[in-house]
Amino acid sequence: MMGFRKKKTFRLNASDQAAFLSELAELSQAGYSLGLSLDVLKTGHPHWSPGLLAVQEKLAVGMDLSAALKELLSPTLATYLDLARQHGRFDETLHLLAEKVRQLLSYQRQLKQALAYPVLLIFILIGLVFTLEQTLYPVFAELAGNVGSSGGNNWPLAFLHGLLGMVIMLAVALFIFYAYLLRCTPLKRLLILTKVPILSGMTKDLVSALLAENLAVFLGAGLSLPSIIEHFFNGGDEDHSLSAELAKYARRALLLGISVDEWLEKQSYVRPGLSAYLTRGFDSRTLAAYLSYYAKREYERFDQQVKSFFAMLQPVLFSIIGGTIVLLYLAMLLPLYQNLGGYQL
């Protein structure tokens, strides 16, 4: 039975991964070696110790950095760091990855904050509607002497049922869609998101920015596009990461005689402008500078779209909640007025 025990993993959560990358970058810039940096991090973060110890043990037996860091980080991050270390861009890439992980976490927090209060109110309103039907309406019916018919002519209640039914159906549909996305490969997930009207533009901007920025780092270190593709094809395919999938299809295109820019131009999840930079014949360092500028512009566009989405989301949710509250009051008052009128007669 012991032989079938599941191997324990020490993968850090997203916020801890960002902190790990940031602190490792600071220690590396201060002149600490990788081994000494890991020792310092073990002291400062005791709950990371098992994972950091596993990384040190793997490095001690000659394992490459990418394979060792997969104990702690996502496979894509680990592969980027391994490639960066091989080509003298380790510190720069650490800072870059830490910043981007933090930025994505910030967007996730904003989305949670935007949804938390409206979703809570919607659940409270659903509870109020249920309470209304179970407690007040039987009283109204008893006062009117017509048990079972008090809600028959209550059109606000019918609207409430319809509205809440649509909200519940939408929530179920979103949950099913999210569960389906989790089961898809990263590339298929990306292709699906580019077909969703509201998310399509944001997805393309973010992917274009991330791809351009990471290419800029490695091209600036003197690597060629084929060598970058080959590294990710060899380093991450077993983990089915997005980088490994992209590298696999890009490498297949190269073997068929299709250039990287021609292949990239056909991909629906990136902006056409990215492939245009690759067709101008720049040397690696000049191309890296242009791609870095392009990435900055795409990040700004993505940030604007996210802020616009959040600015639109809450008013829409609160409009639905406001309409629900009005219908709820009407659903309570209409039977009351009807019963009082009948009582006076």
Query: pLDDT truncated to tens, each residue of the chain (345 aa)?
Result: 344 344 556 788 888 888 888 888 888 888 888 888 888 988 888 888 888 888 888 888 888 777 788 778 877 787 777 777 777 777 777 877 888 788 888 888 887 877 777 778 778 877 877 787 777 767 766 665 554 444 456 777 788 888 888 888 988 998 999 999 989 988 899 999 999 988 899 999 989 998 898 888 888 777 788 888 887 887 644 556 788 888 889 999 989 988 888 898 889 899 988 888 888 878 888 888 899 899 989 988 998 888 888 888 878 888 888 888 888 778 777 776 766 655 443
* Separation of alpha carbons 339 and 208, rounded Å: 63
21: nearest Cα among 93, 87, 82, 84: 93
Q: How far apart are CA 70 and CA 336, in angstroms?
A: 65
| Rounded Cα gap, residues 95 and 268, in angstroms | 29
Q: Are 82 and 66 in contact (CB under 8 A)?
A: yes
The residue among 207, 220, 201, 212 whose CA lies nearest residue 293 is: 212
Structure token pair of residue 170? 């939408």
Check: pTM over 0.95? Answer yes or no: no
Rounded Cα gap, residues 268 and 201, in angstroms:
11
d(CA 258, CA 297): 28
Contacts of 7 (CB under 8 A, 6+ apart): none
Q: Are 46 and 33 in contact (CB under 8 A)?
A: no
pLDDT per position as a tens digit, 291-332: 989 998 998 899 888 888 888 887 888 888 888 888 877 877
Give the model confidence (pLDDT) of 208-240 as tens digits: 998 898 888 888 777 788 888 887 887 644 556
